[in-house]
């Protein structure tokens, strides 16, 4: 069955970087885009960026451009998101999801806490 399994929770200090992974299985990795969505505590869903594992094309929300890097390892069917220059308001659950329009499968989420 299709699965997206994300890496574990992270605690970082302001100014640090973090990388979260999203290991996929059960489908052809290159056939679907991977998107990243975050959710601050008690808040709604916020789209961050999208990557095509097929050709590496990426597109990020304007507010994250320059601070977020999306990559994939097609040999291992894993997607990665790196966020730099972390701030306390980056504290959130980060989700990966599969799809090029609607997102039909989601990872379980990775909690990031940014605190000094």
Q: Which residues are near another protein by CB under 8 A?
A: 33, 35, 37, 44-47, 50, 59, 61, 95, 97, 100-104, 106-109
Cβ at position 99, least distance to another protein in Å = 8
Q: How far is the CB of 84 from another protein (least distance, A)?
A: 22
Q: Which is nearer to another protein, 70 or 86 (CB)?
A: 70
Q: State which residue, 18 or 37, has the beta carbon closest to another protein.
A: 37
| Contact assessment for residue 92 and residue 114, using Cβ atoms and an 8 Å cutoff | no
Strands (E), the chain: 3-6, 10-12, 18-25, 34-39, 46-51, 58-60, 68-73, 78-83, 92-98, 105-106, 110-114
């Amino acid at each position: 069955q299709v699965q997206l399994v994300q890496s574990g929770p992270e605690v970082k200090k302001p100014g640090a970087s973090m990388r979260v992974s999203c290991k996929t299985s059960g489908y052809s990795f290159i056939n679907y885009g991977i998107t990243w969505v975050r959710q601050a505590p008690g808040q709604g869903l916020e789209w961050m960026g999208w990557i095509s594992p097929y050709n590496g094309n990426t597109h990020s929300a304007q507010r994250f451009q320059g601070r977020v890097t999306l990559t994939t390892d097609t040999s291992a069917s894993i997607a990665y998101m790196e966020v730099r220059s972390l701030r306390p308001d980056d504290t959130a659950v980060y989700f990966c999801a599969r799809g090029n329009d609607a997102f039909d499968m989601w990872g379980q989420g990775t909690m990031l806490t940014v605190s000094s």
